[in-house]
Amino acid sequence: MRREADENLAFNAPTEPYPASGTDSSGNPAIGLGGIELKYPLSCWPEMMIPARNGAQCTDRKNLGVGYSEEKNVTLATLVTKALSKDSTYVFGRFHSIRIAYSAARRAAEYFQPPQWRAGTWSFPTLFPAADVPEIVKSIRKEAVFVGLNLPAYVVEEIKEFALRQPLHAIYDPNGPTFRYSDVSDGTAADGRRMPVGGVSNPERCPAVQRLIDDPVLRSIVREYFGHEPRKIIALLHWSFGSPMDDEERRHLKHIVIDYHYDVDGYNLLYASFYITDTDRYSGAHVMMKRSHNRKPLRMLIGSVRASVDAVYKYFGKENEIIIEGPAGTGFVQDTSCYHRASPPTRGDRLMLAIRFIN
């Protein structure tokens, strides 16, 4: 299908995943060694390092993966109330200087604790053996994103097959009736419910997803960027269904990530996202504003985390907007304190895996 012209920059990710090397004991392609040496195998890392294993901090049907609340009439009084409550990150996590101070405090605290992992005699496989961790971190610090942390085809296929078999929950009714991907046509489920997004519960049950959560290169990127280990990891696996549904109906059905926003569910936030299906601007491509993670005007910091397209363009410049398009396997790592949104899918479905590293 011929694409329409667009003034915005489309970031077409590299099509080749990082190479694998050899085969494993089952005859499958082996994941190339990333050269990262750890003292302990990943399965022996402390609970803080792999919280997805115990299920308590993993995706459940109540966790819809939205990094901000559905705000209405956010006022200074609202912010003060939240600042005095356990939800203080909603207020203070907005400010770059506070995030820097938080990272410094965490680094200092870890210095006086037994090391969670260090260089040693054990080497473990990674899905990203050619990744240059310092350059990736440098890109995220400058632009808020690195695009090109791509998955091998066999990993993509394993995740896709898993998602096709699983019951899904509606983003607006996480405890309601489940359905299957095959039940949805043109944004409508077999029972007549309109369905913008369907989520897979606890996607780390898929071995390929858990392998990604534990991947030493990905964990090194997070540690280098944060300056410390994350306290919380959440995996999200969502189908976004293509349909002619208008934006207002999508918002009514809780598909509010189609609006520009930044996330405030922690002091330090990093998402590793992977397209499991071919994705372009007509099938739910991720859109973001480069370099909006470190500087925002005061009016954007003290009110709603959402902003209109015009407001974002006016302050950051339309030329800094990128649309991340690419084939299945395309991966990118993003500091989600930048302004970002999802394109409403109109001509095709999108399956995306996101791994959230928080605090």
Tell me: the pLDDT tens digits for 52-103?
A: 333 333 333 334 444 444 455 555 555 555 544 556 777 787 888 877 888 7
Pick left, alpha or beta for residue 225 (phi over 0 → left; psi -120 to 50 → alpha; otherwise beta). Answer: alpha
Average pLDDT, the chain: 80
Structure confidence at residue 87 (pLDDT):
67
pLDDT tens figures, 223-271: 999 998 999 999 999 999 999 999 999 999 988 899 999 999 889 999 9
All domains of the chain in start order, with CATH: 9-358 (2.60.120.620)
Q: How far is CA 174 from the centre of its chain?
A: 19
pLDDT tens figures, 291-314: 999 989 998 988 889 999 999 999
Closest CA to 323 of 359, 262, 279, 293: 279
Dist. CA 263–CA 190, nearest whole Å: 33
Dist. CA 169–CA 156, nearest whole Å: 22
Dist. CA 118–CA 49, nearest whole Å: 13
**What backbone phi and psi angles, to 5 degrees, belong to 65?**
80, 15
CA distances from 246 to 232, 234, 249, 253, 325 (A): 34, 29, 6, 11, 22
CA distances from 58 to 9, 155, 257, 337, 349 (A): 34, 20, 21, 21, 25
Structure confidence at residue 41 (pLDDT):
33
Q: How confident is the model at residue 135 (pLDDT cuts 50, 70, 90)?
A: very high
Is the model's pLDDT at 108 over the cut of 50?
yes
Residue 354's SS3 state is: strand
pTM: 0.77
Residues 94 and 267: beta-carbon distance below 8 Å: no
Structure confidence at residue 99 (pLDDT):
79
**The pair of three-digit structure tokens given for residue 344, joined into one six-digit string:** 């409403």
Which segments of the chain does DSSP mark as H helices, in order?
A: 76-83, 89-92, 96-111, 133-143, 153-165, 207-214, 216-226, 247-252, 298-302, 309-316
- Residue with tokens 């999802």, as numbered in its chain: 342
